[in-house]
Structure formats: C-alpha cells, structure tokens
Structure 1
C-alpha cells in the first residue's frame, strides 16, 4: 500500500483508573459481556482495528483513553489477511459483524459499529443519531443531525442529608477547619450525580487549597470588621483595598473551580483576566447605579459574557452572545410588577388600617385582614426571585454554545416558584433540616430543564478534545492556586 497503515492494539487499563469501571465502559462501548472482556484484556495480544490511517488510529487510542483503557497505534507493513475485531462502518447499515481471530477468541461476540476507516464515529449508543459522524469544527454543522442530550440528576435527599449533617458536625467540632473538606464532599456528590450522555462530572480539588483560601477570606473579614472600631477613615481604606482585590478573588476562584472540574477526563479551564473582571463586576455595576438602573442590563450581560466566554472545555472555548434587549425586557417586567404590587398593597393596607377603628373604637377582628397581605408579600418576593433566576438561566443557557453544539433551557417561572415555596416552607418548619433536601430538589429541577443539543457526534467531539487536551501541556499553576470563595 502506498500510505502507511496502522493497527490499534489493546494494552490494558491506564494507571490511575479504576479497572472494573474501565472494563465496564469498554464492555458497554462494544456490547460485550464481562467474561469476554476479561478474555480480551488477558490475551497476549488483542488487535481492535487494523489497516487504518495513522490519524484514525490516534483517534481510536484517544477515545479509549477517555474511558481509562490503554491502547497503542502500531505501524504494519501489509494489510492483514484476516480481519480483526470488526468495527463495521455505521453508514454501511449492517448489524452483523464479520468473524475474526479475536472474535473467535471472544466466542465470536458481536461488537457495535464504531468507526469507518476514514471517519471517527461513536458507537451506536443512541439509535436516533446512529448515522452521524464526527466532523471537524470547520465542517458545515448545519448538515448534521441534532441530538438532544438532557441533563439528569440522580441524587437523593436522605442520601445527601447524611453527608450534609456529618459535614456540619465535623465543621463545628473543628472550628470550621473541616469546612474545606465538607465543600469537596458536597461538590463531589452533586458532580457525581449529574449525568449527561450516560457520563457524570468530576470534582478533583484538594481540600487543603480550599482551606488556604478560606483562611485568607477570614482574615479579610476580620480586617474589615476591626477597621470600623479603629477609625472611620481606616475602615474606608480597608474597604477600598478589598474592592481592589475583588477582581483577583473572582478570577482566582473561577480558575480554581474550572481547573478542578471535568467531564470524561477533560478538565474545564478559565482564562479570564483581572482587568476583564474589574470591568464586568465593578465598572459596569457602578455605571448601572449611577445611571439609576438604566445601564444595569448591560452590566448583567457583561458579567455573563465574561464568565462564559472565558471558560473552555479542554481547549474549546464556550461562547455567549445575546442582544441586551433580553435583559431590558426582564428589567421592565421587574419594575412593572413591583410598582403594581406596591400600589395594590398600599390600597389594601390603607383599607385594613382604616378598619381597625370603627366609630373611634379599636376593632381586633380587623387584624385578620393583614394575614392575606402578609401571605401576598411573601408570595410576591418569592415569585420575583423565581422570575429573576428563571429569566437569567434561560437567557444564559439558550445563548451559550460549545463549538457548534448548543444548550437548551426551558425553566418555568411557575414550576420554579412552587419549588422555592416548598423549599422555603420546608426549611422554616424543620428549623433548617430540610436544607439538604432543598438542594437536591433544586439540582434535580435544573438538570431536568436543561439539555445539550449536539450537532453530529458527541463521542467523536469528546475524543478529539481529549486528544487535543493530552497534547497541550497544562499551564503552570498560579502561586495562589486556591479557592477563596465561600
């Protein structure tokens, strides 16, 4: 053959990966049972694919590395006469697999169609996208099939309650020192129970680094509190110094959390600058206040754009773009609802107050008229909060992309309002013991109403990102590689 050919050879499980999980993922990938997977891994030499180009072989290796399986691409002199573990091209439409030497060793177990000799294609995990194939970012994404992958959260309230209560007790006993470990346990629980495309997220931060950040935050809090007892001028100076350090705190925290968050062994990254944080979180909010709220929508947009556009999945950046009118619509509705509510409240309150005295005598029964007003006041603020959260979430996710893949959010004000009411009343009536259940219910709601819309092939895209991520050296960690957020 004129072009060099390669074969993909199975080597085993990569160091640092759980062997049982890696083999289970491999079995799911090729639709093999556990016994036959063990035979393949214990064989002296197992060829998974042969007679392919070097770049295609590299993609196989990268894809397998993503599930913790080690494989290598080896050059071959001639195309082998007998086919290996057959990975029939999806576009052929064939369901049967040709026999091979390895398949005979594995009791002729069929494997799912995985890739063609020219295009790296994911396994047929979802029938609706079986005809899609991986395309580079320069390809015309509009010609590819869109596959919807909804997020899912599988955590349970009582299950998390046990983690939460232990974290609280240990944090009290250790005077807050254990709170850093508690934060890692909490995040690992919520990350590990958040699924998309049958995979979960991971949080890999070291508690000691979070503890360092919390010590700094505590010292800043003490300095600001103590400065007020020394002199008003000194208090102003300390507050200004804190304001000056705020952009650095924001950047350091976002970078830390992104670096230690991953999906399918690919870490997220944050590349924002302190200058950008200064403009988004201090400059624009100040302009919003000075303009009596007229520029607040610009501040909200700048903050969302700064956080999203500076995040990346491996080396692939997220992008956020929306017209500022979406934020102005939200602001106008907030103002309108507030004005109408307080006018109605003033009218009803005036009537209730007048009814307290009848013919100059105090009427205790009229106090009952204030109970509906109190309920309305509570419902208004909860409803206002629900509207803000839902609007910001829908604006953010519906205008965020990762390459040509989009996100979708269909949060509802009414359903989120009910969630907040139940959570708030549950926390009040249980004196705070309902907090872990409220967090689980909120996480489940967010996942249920959010999805990823993939153009083409998700597994191929991730394999490509993993290959890029492995080829890029991780940057030198900051001197202050800490999480200073609470």
Structure 2
C-alpha cells in the first residue's frame, strides 16, 4: 500500500469553457455595468470569475470561486474612497499651484498602497477559491510583506533597475510560498540570476529578430514560472512542468490578434477561451500527493478591498 501511495501519479488540468458562453457573460455584465453607471462592476467581476473558475478542472473536478458581488462592492467603495482621497489631494495641490508636490504626493500614495493591495488581493482570492470543497488560503503577513516590498523597491532603485529581476522572484517566493491548498503548501524556487539572464537573452534576441523572438521569450518566461512551482504535503510533492513551445505561442498570439482586429474587439471572449485552453493543456503535473487526503485548514476571508484596489491599479493577480 505504501508503494502505491509513493508512486508518482499524473494529474490533469483543463479548461472547458466556450467562447460563446463567456461572450454572453461579458455582454450581460457590460450592459448592467453601463446601466448602473459602473456600480454593477463588482457583481460583474464575481460572475466572470465564477464562470472562469467553474470551467477550470483538476482531474475532472471544477474549481469554485465563492466571492460575491456584495463582498466586492464593499471593497469597491473602500477603493473608491482611497483613490478619491489621492486624486483630491492632487487637485488641491494643483489648485494651490503646487503641481510638482501634488504629483509626488499622489505617486507616493500609490506606491504606499501597492503592497497592501497585492497582499489583500491574494488573501481574498485564495480564501474564496476551493476545489472539491477544500479551500485555498494565503498566510502572508501584511507588515512583513510591506517591509520586504519597500526593501526590494529601494534595492531596485539604487541598482538602476538591475535588482528588479530579484525583486520579481522574491515576490513570487513570498506570495506563492504562503499559499495553502488545504493542508498542502505551495512553493516557488526561481532564482533572480536565472530570471535576469532569461530576460536579457529575450530582449536582445527580440531586437535582432525584429520582434519575432518575442513569442519564444514569452514561452521561456511561462516555462520558467511553471517549472518552479510545486506543492508539498509532509514528505510528498507535486511538480508542475510546461510543454508549451515557442511556435505554439507564435500561432496563438497571431491568431488572437487577428480575431481581435477582425471582430473589432468582440472576439475577446474567444481569445480568452483559446488562451486558457492552451495554457492548461500544456501544464503537466506529476507527484506523490494523494489529492483525496487533503484536509480543510484555511479560514474564510471576505474583505475584497485589496482585490478592488488591485483592479484600479490594473495589477495582474499572479505576480
């Protein structure tokens, strides 16, 4: 029995959504958001995430997003107040003929709320996500992450941007390393040096090939991100790997661009669907963790302020 448990198994990720169904969700959301002068947006986002999560499967079972429009609306109002205050200070200082001071105060304010928004977004999104009834969770500490964030920003500034690769990897390590899937722990093992070399190579080859290598660069970044992700429980683990290719990224990117151009943007739902299907079809998971053995350990967290502030700042959820 022990040999069977420790024998590596393969797990399957898939996305089963249809472009036409997602298009219906987007159009209804767009209509109600327009009719309510934007106030329907939190409910629109909740419905969109409910659809996308519900169509994403692990071993045939869907993920579930439990967030609600009501939760997000409360966070939406708080985010409006935060940004309203910042913009109010900016216009007041401009009115007092201190535009330079106003811009400094505004951007320092944005910088100050960035780590809080990222931390809050992870805590909310993870808590409201489950699979087979087992919740995800995020155990990072806001104070610890904020102090680290500003340390990484300072090091990036004094190195004229060179440290940005280490900052990206450090953020991933902290954020992903604090994600829990029931009683299993996520881990990220990337290195700043590898990431820097990867980006230098991609940058120069993209220039030399007049932009063509950009898709292979994107493939390399995706592969590096995925291949350094793992899940651990006791002495067992699941390891993720990517089977994506540069030529596939090229075909996917060009086709998606043509769809958007020739549909005047209306094909966005099909672009998202095609992209998600490709991504999940090209992630392989292998390991010795029995998913049926996962236990519920994570608490509910319903404050969506960080999620909504992240939206205002147009931050990607996955760093």
Kindly state the Cα deviation for residue 413 of structure 1 after the two structures are TM-superposed: 2.5
> Higher mean Cα deviation, 399-408 or 256-265?
399-408
Tell me the distance in 2 between the aligned counterparts of 1:316 and 1:332: 35
Q: 1:412 to 1:215 in 2, by over 3 A?
A: farther
1:425, distance to aligned residue in structure 2 (A): 2.3
| Structural mapping, 1:204-353, within 5 Å | 204-231=66-93, 232=99, 233-279=101-147, 281-340=149-208
Are the equivalent residues in 2 in contact too, given 1:149–1:452 (CA < 8 A)?
yes
C-alpha distance in 1 between matches for 2:250 and 2:167: 25
Distance 1:338 1:405 in 2: 34
Question: Contact 1:280–1:299 (CA<8 Å) still a contact in 2?
Answer: no
Query: Could you say which structure has the higher helix fraction?
Result: 2
Deviations 1:324-375 (A, max 9, x none): 332022122134225535xxxxxxxxxxxxxxxxxxxxxxxxxxxxxxxxxx
Match of 1:166? Answer: 28
Given that 2:8 and 2:287 are in contact with CA atoms closer than 8 Å, whether structure 1 keeps it comes out as: yes
From 393, 398, 423, the equivalent of 2:227 is 398
Q: Which residue of 2 aligns with 1:413?
A: 246
Indicate the residue corresponding to 1:19 in structure 2.
Answer: none
Q: Distance in 2 between matches of 1:443 and 1:335?
A: 25
**Larger C-alpha radius of gyration, 1 or 2?**
1
1:132 aligns with 2:10: no
Q: CA deviation at 1:428?
A: 2.2
Residues 207-246 of structure 1 deviation map (CA, whole Å, 9 limit, x = unaligned):
1121122223333344444444332223422332332222
Deviation at 1:288, TM superposition (A): 2.5
**What's the CA shift for 1:445?**
1.0
TM-score, normalised by the number of residues in structure 1: 0.57
When the two chains are superposed, the root-mean-square deviation of aligned CA atoms in Å is 2.4
Q: Deviations over 1:394-433 (max 9, x none)?
A: 2222122211121122222221222122212221222210
Given that residues 86 and 109 in structure 2 are in contact (C-alpha distance below 8 angstroms), is that contact kept between their aligned partners in structure 1? no
| Aligned counterpart, 2:271 | 438
Partners of 2:132 and 2:66 in 1: how far apart? 13
For 1:410 and 1:281, the matched residues in 2 are separated by: 32
How far is the alpha carbon of 1:387 from its aligned partner? 4.3
Deviation at 1:292, TM superposition (A): 2.9
Q: How far apart are 1:251 and its partner, in Å?
A: 1.0
1:307/1:411 Cα in 2 relative to 1: closer, same or farther (>3 Å)? Answer: farther
Q: 2:57 corresponds to which residue?
A: 195
* TM-score of the aligned structures, taking structure 2 as reference length: 0.84
Give how far 1:279 is off.
4.9
Contact 2:63 2:129 in 1 (8 A): yes
Matches within 5 A, 1:50-69: none
Distance (whole Å) between structure 1 residues aligned to residue 146 and residue 225 of structure 2: 21
Q: Distance in 2 between matches of 1:260 and 1:321?
A: 25
Any unmatched runs of 5+ in structure 1? Answer: 1-90, 92-118, 120-130, 134-143, 342-375
Displacement of 1:310 after TM fit? 0.9
Structure 2 segments unaligned to the other structure (5+ residues): 94-98, 312-319
Structure 2 distance, partners of 1:432, 1:216, is 31
Answer yes or no: is 1:428 the counterpart of 2:257.
no
C-alpha change, 1:389 and 1:286, in structure 2 (3 Å) is farther
C-alpha displacement of 1:266: 0.7
Q: Equivalences for 1:41-56 in 2 at 5 Å? A: none
Question: Relative to structure 1, is the Cα distance of residues 147 and 303 closer, same or farther in structure 2, using a 3 angstrom cutoff?
Answer: same
The CA distance in 1 between the partners of 2:258 and 2:87, in whole Å, is 33
Q: What is the Cα deviation at residue 270 of structure 1? A: 0.6
Compare relative contact order (CA 8 Å, sep 6+) and give the higher one, 1 or 2.
2
The equivalent residue for 1:56 is none
